[in-house]
Amino acid sequence: MTARRTSLISKLGVPVLVFVFALGALTLSNRSPEGSSGASDDAPPAADFGPPPRNTEELIRSLQRRVLAEPDEASGYAQLGDAYLQRTRETSDSDFYTRAEKAFDEALRRDPAELTATIGAGTLALARHDFRGGLRLGLRARRLAPRPFDPTRWWSTPRSSLVATATRGARCKKW
């Protein structure tokens, strides 16, 4: 039995040592130089919108501060619209649909090619049973981000039905 243990230790010892050595080498090579924070000196300082949100209400407040601080950025409005849609799911309060619509409209006014706002607006259209509008926006989202972008890989919300509808759009009959 001692010979078996020695054989097992020698078989496992070499791979373990190689792994530890590789891990140490990677750790050393990925360290930033002393006195460096890792951020580029040319980059503008990141805006601070408070601590990370713990729930959707805090996320909405944080994104509201963001759009006030960066009113020309379409992505902030798109994310705010998504947060309003999530809040609608949590509370069943359809007033958040109106807020989401305004946020998506603002995002698309600032950047008509904003993908998150386009998908969000399509999700909102489908939630309101505006299937033509949802299909139109789904096809537009597909044009904005053709393959290999596949939202269904990450989303299990009504967005996946938006993308599925857009994917089948070419085969759907015209109303």
Helix and strand element counts for the chain (H, E) = 7, 0
- Residue of higher predicted confidence among 171 and 19: 19
CA–CA separation, 96 vs 84, rounded Å?
A: 5
pLDDT per residue as tens digits for the range 2-49 = 666 666 666 666 676 666 666 666 666 666 555 444 444 454 455 555
**Looking at residue 175, what is its pLDDT?**
41
CA–CA separation, 76 vs 61, rounded Å?
A: 12
Q: Is the dihedral of CA 99, 107, 174, 158 positive or negative?
A: negative
pLDDT per residue as tens digits for the range 110-167 = 999 999 999 999 999 999 999 999 999 999 998 988 765 555 554 445 555 555 555 5
pLDDT per residue as tens digits for the range 41-100 = 454 455 555 667 788 999 999 999 999 999 999 999 999 999 999 999 999 999 999 999
CA–CA separation, 119 vs 67, rounded Å?
A: 19
Q: Please give the full DSSP string across 120-146, using - where no structure is assigned.
A: HHHHHHHHTT-HHHHHHHHHHHHHHS-
Please, are residues 89 and 56 in contact by the beta-carbon 8 Å criterion? no
**Domain ranges for the chain:** 56-169
CATH number attached to the domain at 56-169: 1.25.40.10
